[in-house]
Amino acid sequence: MSGVTTLLLAMAVPLAGALLIALSHGRPNQREAVTLVTAGVMFGLVASLVPEVLAGGRPATQPWSILPGLELRFTLEPLGMLFALVASSLWIVNSMYSIGYMRSNDEPRQTSFYVFFAVALAATLGIAFAGNLFTLFLFYELLTLSTYPLVVHKQNAEALRAGRTYLLLLIGSSIVFFLPAIVWVSWTAGTTTFTLGGVVSDVMTPDETGWLLALFAIGIGKAAIMPMHRWLPVAMVAPTPVSALLHAVAVVKAGVFSIVKITVYVIGVENLARVGSGDWLLYVAGTTVIVASLIALTQDNLKRRLAYSTVSQLSYVVLAAAILTPTSVIAAALHIAAHAFGKITLFFAAGSIYTAAHKTEVSELDGIGRRMPWTMGAFAVGALSMVGVPPAAGFTSKWYLASAALAAGQHFALAVIVLSTLLNAAYFVPIVYAAFLKPEPASGHGHAHGEAPWPMVLALVTTAAGTMLLFLVPNLPLALARQLAGLS
């Protein structure tokens, strides 16, 4: 199969899967088997594209044109490849985890849960493979719309309120800022196709370039740069598998992925460094990192603490991109992958605690590590990755980020990195400490429990192992990231 066919097929598979899942309504075993098979096939297809990209191939296709200048266009390039690999591999693990979670918690409306999950993954791949701004925008909106039913899954007043914030902030910001930015690029540059080095360097003044970057940075609400981050904590009302894959990986990464992609392929790294009107992004992202970490410190609800940690970690990626050197672009790409594996592990652990022990607050976790050693062990690995300590993947990306900041003489960025590392440690280490070293409260845990069901434990151990593996053998993501930065 040619690269183009594989690429289109990879996006079609989850859609077909969604249809089959819907048809399997009322037959849980068949439904979940279809989900797993779909995830497996999709990953296989995505993985089969890797050699071509590594060899320098950039398969592109333009299957449809809506208006002149508004084409549906897909191009495979290293960053999209990396994002697609991360999302599709984690979907397999996450599906396994979902099965355990949804069954043991007796969640209602499971069929529609799996259907929208599959559609969301199709949208994620669409974002990863988008070849121009319009296609990116199309799938960006599709991703918001397909995850909305997952956020309001519980259908109680709190979930509906969360859903409103979610839709309004994400669609609102994208329509009000992202769309005009796209029209602007299309009007001045005459094209929105992603081109290495950017398309606007010759046609926009430095000031205009700065404004354009601002429109993109605010308009891409999924990147959760403050003050557009409010949707992420409220989205935690969704079932944990949704928080894990979508709100720690697919949706939020789609946001930072779009920002990195736009910096590299629309505005152009060198162009932006030359005109120097993008410096403010560095400060906004840096502030977000610190403020979000400070808020995370005050959260007692485990999922909300993780959500604010996500806000802070996402801005690492933006911060890295905003340093505007090849090394920093590598750091941004690596951190997309590293944070994905680490954060999904943490969410898996949170869901596993909720399922087995019915606990949601950090203050209730004393001594739980002895009852759930695998879960809390994996949690510890994820936490290490967030802080950036070996042997976890977070170390690698942070290393690149720090060296990029040093080389560029960005003392602000360096200070942010150091400070936020301390803060990360401050809100993760106590959890691990309490879980393993503090005694259980005298009143006991209410009821005797052990580990969560095995599919969940297997899933979280897998992602924890993945986090360490990414540290030990970072060859593939590193190779892709170096290609992106033009260093291969």
Partner 1 sequence: MIAAHLPALQVVIPLLAAPICAMLRRGSHAWAWTMVVSWAMPVIAFAILLQVLEGGTISYWLGSWEPPWGIEYRIDTVNAFVLVLVSVIGAVVMPYARASLEREMPADRQVWYYTMYLLCLAGLLGMAATGDAFNVFVFMEIASLSSYVLIALGRDRRALVAAYQYLIVGTIGATFYVIGVGFLYVMTGTLNIADLAERLPLVENQRPVLIALTFLIVGLSLKLALFPLHFWLPGAYAYAPSVATAFLAASATKVAIYLILRFFFTVFGGSYPLAGLGVPLVWIALSLAAIVLPSITAIYEKDVKRMLALSSVAQIGYITLGIGLLSEAGLTGSIVHLLNHGLMKGALFLLVGGIAYSKGAVTVDRIAGMARRMPLTFAGFVVAGLSMVGVPGTVGFVSKWYLVLAAIERGWWWLAILVVASSVLSLVYMGRLVEASYFRPSAPDSTDDQEMPRSMLASAWVLVAACVYFGLDTDLTVRVAAQAARTLLGTP
At a CB cut-off of 8 Å and minimum separation 6, what does 155 contact?
none
Q: Does 134 bind partner 1 (CB under 8 A)?
A: yes
Taking contact as CB under 8 A, which single stretch among the options 84-92, 175-183, 284-292, 377-385 is the one that binds partner 1? Answer: 175-183
Q: Which is nearer to partner 1, 25 or 438 (CB)?
A: 25
The binder of partner 1 chosen from 120, 130, 138, 460 (CB under 8 A): 138
Torsion, Cα of 335, 341, 343, 346 (10° steps) = -150
137 counts as binding partner 1 under rule CB under 8 A: yes
Question: Residue from 19, 54, 167, 408 that binds partner 1 (CB under 8 A)?
Answer: 167
**Max Cα separation, the chain?**
70
HEC sequence for 124-169: HHHHHHECEHHHHHHHHHHHHHHHHHHHCCCCCHHHHHHHHHHHHH
**Contact call for residue 235 and partner 1 (CB under 8 A):** no
Selected from 1, 158, 160, 433, the binder of partner 1 by CB under 8 A is: 160
**Could you tell me the smallest distance in angstroms from the CB atom of residue 268 to partner 1?**
21
Quote the least distance from Cβ 169 to partner 1, whole Å. 10
Q: Establish if 25 lies at the interface with partner 1 (CB under 8 A).
A: no
Inter-residue contact 307 to 232 (CB < 8 Å): yes
Nearest-CA neighbor of 79 among 190, 194, 162? Answer: 194
> Of the candidates 68, 80, 84, which has an alpha carbon nearest to the alpha carbon of residue 192?
68
Q: Does 67 bind partner 1 (CB under 8 A)?
A: yes
The reply to whether omega before 391 is within 30° of 0 (cis) is yes
Contact with partner 1 (CB under 8 A) among 49, 70, 362, 434:
70
Minimum CB–partner distance for residue 184 and partner 1 (Å) = 6
Q: How many residues does this entry show for the chain? A: 488
Q: Which of 187, 52, 180, 71 is nearest to 136 (CA)?
A: 71
State which of residues 33, 41, 179, 419 lies at the interface with partner 1 (CB under 8 A): 179
Element (H, E) at 73: strand 70-75
First-to-last CA distance in the chain?
A: 26
Residues 238-257 that bind partner 1 (CB under 8 A): none
- Compute the least distance from the CB of residue 408 to partner 1, in Å: 33
Give the residue with the Cβ less far from partner 1, 64 or 454.
64
Nearer to partner 1, 41 or 179 (CB): 179
The answer, yes or no, to whether the previous bond of 227 is cis (omega within 30 of 0) is yes
Q: If binding is defined by CB under 8 A, does position 180 make contact with partner 1?
A: yes
By CB under 8 A, name the binding residues for partner 1.
64, 66-67, 70, 134, 137-138, 141, 145, 149, 152, 155, 159-160, 163-164, 167-168, 171-172, 175-176, 179-180, 183-184, 186-187
